[in-house]
Structure formats: C-alpha cells, structure tokens
Amino acid sequence: MTSSCSLCDRFADPNSSLTVYRSPKIVLDHMPGIDLPGYLVIAPLRHVEHAGILDDSEREELARLQSLAVQTILGLPGVGKVYILSFGEAVPHLHLHLFPRTDAMLLAPGCLTDGIPEGPKIFEFWRKKLAVPGVPDGVRSLIPQLKDAFRKFGSFNPSSPRQPSR
C-alpha cells in the first residue's frame, strides 16, 4: 500500500538501511542520492506538514535528537557548520535537512559574498553537484558508525532531560 507521501512510504520500513536512529515518534535517516556523508534528515514518523502540529513529546524529542545529531555531524572530519533547513514544498511532511558544510564548499563559485558564506547558494550548489544514484559507498560505510554513535546515546530518553557534562 502506497501513501501519497514519499517520506511516509520510506518510514514504513522500520529496517531501512538509511536509518541512523528511530524511536516510536521520530526518525533520523541519512539522505540518499547525495554523496555527502553526514547529511541527515530528521522527521516525525507521524505525517505532519509543519511544526505547529507536533505534540509536546514529538517537539521535545525532535529538538533533542536534532541537537545530538548536529553535535555528531560536527565531529565528522572537515565539517565546520551544519545547516538546518526545512521547506515542505516538494515533500509536504515536516522534515529537517541537517546539511554538513565543509570549508571546501566555500570555494565553489558564487558561494561567498564579500567573504561571507551564502548558505542557501551553498546548499543548492552542492546538492546538485553531489547528486548520485542510490547510496554512495562513503555514505553506506558511515551509517553503521552513526548508528553506533546514537547507540552510545542509549541513555537518550526523550522523556527525561540529559544532564549537562561538567
């Protein structure tokens, strides 16, 4: 049975090879078709079109998992920043792109204005340039490492706050 939402269809498989972390409410997947290891997408499993529809527990878990995912992506080699984007135009299911931006990406034409990075241009340019069919080897080999990193966050419990490290 196919829904009219490609993300709902993708999330119907609880054993997807792209899934880095999955709870009963939120999923964190690696973006397929882009040769950029660490490019993750976080979304509620339930079909919602915008954040205003999330219930309190979904909103809390999404925010916590987003924070942990950004910390993890920033730990990957060469990543200097993580862009977080949500459009909901082509796929009207709330999902956040967690896009790792490397310093090398700044060298692309038109990506700097007066020495300042142009995030939307960087995102657009590199998504097109790094587009590939399927799941690239670098992404495929990173997914188990990411899964392990999120297993280490096994104490991650969406219903109780994490204690800050001292």
Q: Is 27 helix (H, G, I), strand (E, B) or coil?
A: strand
What confidence score (pLDDT) does residue 7 get? Answer: 92
What confidence score (pLDDT) does residue 81 get? Answer: 97
What confidence score (pLDDT) does residue 151 get? Answer: 83
| pLDDT band per the 50, 70, 90 thresholds, residue 117 | very high
What average pLDDT score do residues 100-127 get? 94
113 alpha-carbon distance from chain centroid: 26
| pLDDT band per the 50, 70, 90 thresholds, residue 153 | low
Q: Is 136 helix (H, G, I), strand (E, B) or coil?
A: coil
| Sequence ranges of the domains in the chain | 6-152
DSSP string, 99-115: EEEEGGGGGSTTSEETT
pTM of the shown model = 0.88
Quick check: 166 pLDDT over 70? no
What number does CATH give the domain 6-152? 3.30.428.10
What confidence score (pLDDT) does residue 1 get? Answer: 38
Top pLDDT among 37 and 150 is at: 37
Percentage of residues in the chain having pLDDT higher than 90: 81
What confidence score (pLDDT) does residue 162 get? Answer: 39
What average pLDDT score do residues 27-36 get? 95
How many Cβ atoms from other residues are within 10 Å of residue 19's Cβ?
Answer: 18
What confidence score (pLDDT) does residue 149 get? Answer: 87
Read off the tokens for 8.
Answer: 């709902």
Q: Which long-range contacts (CB under 8 A, 24 or more apart) does 154-160 make?
A: 156/64, 156/65, 156/68, 158/23, 158/25, 158/26, 158/57, 158/60, 158/61, 158/64, 158/65, 159/57
What average pLDDT score do residues 83-107 get? 94
